[in-house]
Structure 1
Amino acid sequence: MTGFFHETAFCGSDDEFLAIAVPFVEGGLRAGQPTLIACAEKNTALLRGALSDDDAVTYLPGADQYARPADAIASYRDIFGGLAKAGATQIRTIGDVPHPGYGVPWDWWGRYENAANQAYAEFPLWGLCPYDTRITPPEVLADVARTHEYIATAAGEHLPNPDFGNGLLLGRPVPDVLEQGAPRVSLVNPTPAAVREAVHAAIAGTRLAEDSAHDVVYAASEIVTNGLSHGVAPVRFRLWADDSRVVVTVTDQGRGPADPLAGLMPTAATRSAGLGLWILHRTCDYVSMARDEDGFTVRVSVGGSDQAA
């Protein structure tokens, strides 16, 4: 197999994972192909114990590589571009994409899996994304099937996936626990300047670090600007906060962006609004873009228990 291949595997046991992953890695090593592993700790340990030539593999810490989807894309594109420039005609990767089974919200990672079909298509990449069916929710498995063109099996097959279909994948909206209370700020069709002023006042008593406070103000202003410029009125802004964390939502009545890469990487069309979305995807702790009966909502979260006073 040469060219770009985005493949998944559904594993119901550790043995099944190894039956798929070990031949994949060793096949790349035999062919002299750069081979990278960015798995969670458990799968990394399984592979280290099973591989016959462990030293020839490049290990990327999974938690660092998959900290944020936009960061993962930027990092991988740098790596793949460097390897291709150095003469690699095929690159192999195997990585554990975060999901609720690892305690991580899925929707922006679901968008990542969809965006990968464009973000990495220019590289000679064969990427394998295994999912453990013991811990992966059914709705996540359904999204995974939609976003991978091929499926690997423990029998050594690499099969075309009949469920694969490109197109925008927006996550299912999952309200933050802070949204169970009344918002500190609720505005309809506000100007970006009014939002910045309201956010400054609302977070003044929190323990957010200075950089995090700046990120909240920037994100709120940027999302409202996008809603007013590209959405359908009314545009509703809301903010919730506790001592160390802030959640912002902006809802309009439009359909949301038509580009699967929106916010996940800079493109030729991101000089204005899209560039701002990309920046907040690389600074906020969580970003979701979803639609439901209330409209299209962008949700961001910034901060946590480790924030300084």
Structure 2
Amino acid sequence: MRTGAAYGHVGYFHETAFYGSDDDYRSVVVPFVDEGVAACEPVVVACRDANERLIRDAVADPSGVVFLPGGDQYDRPTEAILGYRKLFAEYAGAAQIRVVGDVPHPGVGAAWDWWARYEAAVNEVFDEYPLWGLCPYDLRTTPARVLADVVRTHPWTAGTDGSHLPNARYRSSWALPSSGPTAYEAGRPVVELTDPTPAQARRAVTAACGGARLGRDEVDDIVYAASEAVTNAHSHGRPPVRLRAWTGPAHVLVAVTDRGEGPTSPLAGLVPTDRTATAGVGLWLTHRTCRDVTMSRDAEGYTIRLLTTA
């Protein structure tokens, strides 16, 4: 039988909380952990070091908690999904699993776009488990645009007063965000092609990588990702397909734009799929190897941006 606010719930009870002080953080997280341990439920903490210390110092029985090593152990959403699914499978038969974790965002130095998609995607990805996930966000460091995405992707909200309420601002639907050029796109691109074949994309991006101090693996990753993006644009988008690339001393950014709508699900690229012949595993592998993958839609159409760094 499930306990606490998730009593009677089926599937993933996905909850967020907002805090502005260490005391506020403890007021939300410590009861969540203590009640789970008291109920003999698996309780997992995946937080950055400072928040882990707050929890360890305040909970009644830290020996009953699984502390994952470092809140940033998963540097990509794909790895977080894979890792958590493996962990949850180990708790087969548990009435409820509790997880509290820090999700990376620009306030702690991480790219947000794919983590915003992660917060939307896990509502479906983790729904097969009797999971109660708590995602607290620090109001002192979290940018406003991140907070806006958070409230749209969490069906439930925990309060510092002990409340657990349905989130009226949650939206079960998802759409690609709009975004302008990134800081990496200053100046003229070193590569600009219209309707390239995948082979032409590979050759052009390989040449562009010569201007950056990248290892062989990083070059192979961005070349593969560019080829996959062009293939997907030709197969699922609308012409013209435009490839651009910018380089710096230690990075390469590739942007592929087409006039199509782009993905309609936040799961795109975060989990492998065999629903299509060309846009499933390749996009997932791209998300696993690039330093950052951003997908957006604007007046020019759908753009996927692929970043690799030394």
TM range (shorter): over 0.9
3-state SS, counterpart of residue 21 of structure 1: helix
Q: Which residue of 2 aligns with 1:204?
A: 210
d(CA) in 1 for partners of 2:72, 2:24: 26
Contact 2:47 2:72 in 1 (8 A): no
Comparing 167-176 and 204-213, the one that deviates more = 167-176
Q: Which residue of 2 aligns with 1:224?
A: 230
23, 26, 31: which is aligned to 1:23? 31
Comparing 2-11 and 222-231, the one that deviates more = 2-11
| 2:19 paired with 1:5 | no
Letter in 2 for 1:77: R
Letter in 1 for 2:138: D
1:85-164 maps to which residues of 2 (within 5 A)? 87-164=93-170
3-state SS, counterpart of residue 207 of structure 1: coil
- Deviation (angstroms), 1:254: 1.3
Percent identity, aligned pairs only, is 52
Deviations 1:88-120 (A, max 9, x none): 121000001011111212111100000010110
Q: Which residue of 2 aligns with 1:307?
A: none
Contact 1:65 1:75 in 2 (8 A): no
- Deviation (angstroms), 1:61: 2.9
| 2:281 paired with 1:284 | no
Comparing 167-176 and 278-287, the one that deviates more = 167-176
Comparing 26-35 and 61-70, the one that deviates more = 61-70
**How many pairs align?**
302
Q: Which residue of 1 aligns with 2:50?
A: 42
d(CA) in 2 for partners of 1:62, 1:139: 25
- Deviation (angstroms), 1:73: 0.7
Letter in 2 for 1:98: P
Query: Structure 1 residues 69, 171: CA separation in 2 closer, same or farther (over 3 Å shift)?
Result: farther
Letter in 1 for 2:28: I
Query: Structure 1 residues 98, 286: CA separation in 2 closer, same or farther (over 3 Å shift)?
Result: same
Q: Which residue of 1 aligns with 2:252?
A: 246
Letter in 1 for 2:246: W
Query: Structure 1 residues 288, 122: CA separation in 2 closer, same or farther (over 3 Å shift)?
Result: same
Comparing 140-149 and 2-11, the one that deviates more = 2-11
After TM superposition, the score normalised by the length of structure 2 is: 0.93
Contact 1:253 1:296 in 2 (8 A): yes
Letter in 2 for 1:94: V
d(CA) in 1 for partners of 2:178, 2:168: 23
d(CA) in 2 for partners of 1:64, 1:104: 10
Contact 2:232 2:278 in 1 (8 A): no
d(CA) in 2 for partners of 1:204, 1:63: 35
Contact 1:251 1:297 in 2 (8 A): yes
Contact 1:106 1:171 in 2 (8 A): no
d(CA) in 2 for partners of 1:33, 1:174: 45
Runs of 4+, deviation exceeding 4 Å: none
d(CA) in 2 for partners of 1:156, 1:65: 29
Contact 1:114 1:169 in 2 (8 A): no
Contact 1:150 1:158 in 2 (8 A): yes
Q: Which residue of 2 aligns with 1:58?
A: 66
d(CA) in 1 for partners of 2:71, 2:99: 15
Letter in 2 for 1:47: I
Letter in 2 for 1:142: A
Deviations 1:174-223 (A, max 9, x none): 53322102111000111001111111222134321111110011000001
Q: Which residue of 2 aligns with 1:256?
A: 262
d(CA) in 2 for partners of 1:302, 1:63: 22
* Long gaps (5+) in structure 2: 1-5
- Deviation (angstroms), 1:66: 3.1
Contact 2:175 2:264 in 1 (8 A): no
Letter in 2 for 1:9: A
Contact 1:96 1:129 in 2 (8 A): yes
3-state SS, counterpart of residue 280 of structure 2: helix
Q: Which residue of 2 aligns with 1:293?
A: 299
* Long gaps (5+) in structure 1: 305-309
After TM superposition, the score normalised by the length of structure 1 is: 0.94
